[in-house]
Amino acid sequence: MDSVFSVFGSFMDWDVKGLLLFLVIFILTADYIKNRRPANFPPGPWSFPIVGSIFTLDHNRTHEIFTQLAGRYGDVFSLRLGQKRIVVLNKFKVIKEGLVNHGDGLSDRPDLPITQDTTYGLGIIFSNGHIWKQQRRFALSTLRYFGFGKKSLEPVILEEVTHCANIFRSFKGKPFGPHLIMNNVVSNIICFLVFGHRFEYSDEKFKRLVELFGKSLEIEGSIWVQLYNSFPVLMRRLPGPHQTVVNIWTYVKDFIKEELKQHKQNWDSSDPRDYIDCYLNEIQNTKGQESSTFDEEGLIMSVLDLFVAGSETTSTTLRWAFLYMAKYPEIQEKVQAEIDRVIGQSRQPSMEDRAILPYTDAVIHEIQRIGNIVPLSLPHITNKEIELRGYTIPKGVAVVPNLTSVLFDKDEWETPHIFNPGHFLDKDGNFVKPNAFIPFSAGKRVCLGESLAKMELFLFFTSFMQQFTFSMPPGVKPVMDYRFGVTLAPEPYELCATSR
């Protein structure tokens, strides 16, 4: 009898093994069939079944890995991440051909699970089609009405300079960390436009808010979010940093809802004070129209997009600026000498000074170039089949513009890996901007806040150089390491700001 059970057990053991083997073969075969490389698709590295290249990429320097892969597979290559293939565009001519020449076919954003779970397809940055066109058009016209990119906004920026300069002076030349200060400073400009008021630097709730922006953008460039986007059903149920992203944006939306609540208490449709008031007017004016995309959920997401995009990138650029000025004091001295000669110390800078401060302008642009603030831009997706550089990219494929490959291209820049303001000066010392300078990306999805960012960077940087000399604490050398995420931020550091 025992022998019968033994034979039966052995049979069952092999039956289970056979079933498992069958399942493995079935899953691998199904994965292969589902994820076969399409005909005439861009080449790329071999990847594992199911997970693709998620675990073989170094997610702490994805932009550098993509640039290296371009050297091996060409300026248009593909990569499999989980169950999806992406196409990466490299070099200026290729990115321009993709985003500009094929602008209509690449005007959409992919429906990534992480963005769908936080934005619900609303807002300005990650919306598509009619929603995106209507929201972007409204945002541009409304922000221009309140001085976006115009001279009328200069006093607001310069007033914030005064507040910040007082904070810098309060340290009396001793070391301090500029991270949160600069986040608050820059955020206050977009707050003025969107909320109608600024926040004090001592406001703990606001400080917490802008601190969370950087944390979220760092996690969103990590392997955790790649896994979330590849296996959302599983990852939504597992703990980890990816859950932090969702919680952060929920916290930000709650903050905006509170601002909205306060606005509605004393809202006068005949006298709009800011973006929120104008949006509330638009909700009222388009109520009942089938084509309208204006409602309170859309308002909250649009404000969130403007809030984040209008603060994090510019503040990160300025933190790189301080670091590079401390690293290259001879360049800082030349900037200060030009400012002293043209503006002096008797008045604040103005945007009209930009044309007569070519060296200062060149330094600002070089900081943007080498700082490489948004190294992979934001992803696009093909809304129809396109032909690019001899390859066929089907509809529904995510496309990533590798801006790093442009801003550090040895064929476009004399010394791509060295801080060199000469990249933006001709032989006579006049400012010139090479075509390959595209830190704000290109095409229909070019950064909405480009004009504001340019104004802020010039006025903030010039004002700080006029009033302070930046240096590292005694015995400390500048460390130019970065933290990879959606944005490329410097590692936290301290510096000294000495009044001039």
Residue 48 forms part of a structural domain: no
Q: Which residues have C-beta within 8 Å of that of residue 316, sequence separation ≥ 6? A: 214, 371, 373, 487, 488, 489, 490
pLDDT of residue 211: 86
Residue 16 forms part of a structural domain: no
pLDDT: which is higher, 183 or 15? 183
Does residue 132 register a pLDDT over 50?
Answer: yes
394-432 pLDDT tens trace: 999 999 999 999 999 999 999 999 999 999 999 999 999
325-352 pLDDT tens trace: 999 999 999 999 999 999 999 899 999 9
16-58 pLDDT tens trace: 677 677 666 766 666 666 677 788 999 999 888 888 889 889 9
pLDDT of residue 406: 97
Query: What average pLDDT does the segment 357-377 reach?
Result: 97
The DSSP letter of residue 355 is G
Sorting pLDDT into bands at 50, 70 and 90, what band is 5? very low
Residue 30 forms part of a structural domain: no
Sorting pLDDT into bands at 50, 70 and 90, what band is 148? confident
Rounded to whole angstroms, the Cα distance separating 460 from 201 reads 17
208-224 pLDDT tens trace: 888 888 889 999 999 99
CA distances from 374 to 72, 267, 278 (A): 23, 37, 30
Q: Which residues have C-beta within 8 Å of that of residue 40, sequence separation ≥ 6? A: 390, 391, 392
pLDDT of residue 117: 93
What is the SS3 assignment for 425? Answer: strand
Strands 398-401 and 84-89, sheet pairing:
parallel
498: left (phi over 0), alpha (psi -120 to 50) or beta: beta
CATH assignment at residue 294: 1.10.630.10
CA distances from 170 to 161, 175, 176, 198, 348 (A): 14, 11, 10, 20, 20
pLDDT of residue 27: 63
Residues above pLDDT 90, as percent of the chain: 78
pLDDT of residue 213: 85
Catalogue the E-assigned strands of 255-396.
Answer: 380-381, 386-388, 391-393
> DSSP labels for 158-205?
HHHHHHHHHHHHHTTT--B--HHHHHHHHHHHHHHHHTSS---TT-HH
Mean pLDDT for the chain overall = 91
Residue 46 forms part of a structural domain: no
pLDDT of residue 48: 84
pLDDT of residue 31: 61
Do 484 and 62 meet the contact criterion of CB atoms below 8 Å apart? yes
Tokens of 90: 């490299």
Residue 13 forms part of a structural domain: no
Note the residue count of the chain. Answer: 500
Residues above pLDDT 70, as percent of the chain: 94
488: left (phi over 0), alpha (psi -120 to 50) or beta: beta
Q: How many domains does the chain have?
A: 1
Does residue 8 register a pLDDT over 80?
Answer: no
pLDDT of residue 24: 65
Residue 20 forms part of a structural domain: no
Report field, pTM of the whole predicted structure over 0.85: yes
Rounded to whole angstroms, the Cα distance separating 309 from 123 reads 12
Residue 36 forms part of a structural domain: no
Does residue 6 register a pLDDT over 90?
Answer: no
Residue among 196, 107, 266, 178 at smallest CA distance from 460: 178
Do 276 and 194 meet the contact criterion of CB atoms below 8 Å apart? yes
Tokens of 309: 């995009």
Domain that holds residue 72: 62-499
pLDDT of residue 11: 47
Query: What average pLDDT does the segment 267-290 reach?
Result: 91
Residue 56 forms part of a structural domain: no
Does residue 123 register a pLDDT over 70?
Answer: yes
Degrees to nearest 5, angle at CA 73 with 409 and 381? 80
436-481 pLDDT tens trace: 999 999 999 998 888 899 999 999 999 999 999 999 999 999 999 9
Sorting pLDDT into bands at 50, 70 and 90, what band is 89? very high
CA distances from 305 to 132, 135, 308, 344 (A): 12, 11, 5, 38
What is the SS3 assignment for 362? Answer: helix
Judged by average pLDDT, the poorest of 65-74, 143-152, 203-212, 477-486 is 143-152
CB-count exposure of residue 23 (10 Å: 0-12, 13-18, 19+): exposed
Query: What average pLDDT does the segment 187-194 reach?
Result: 92
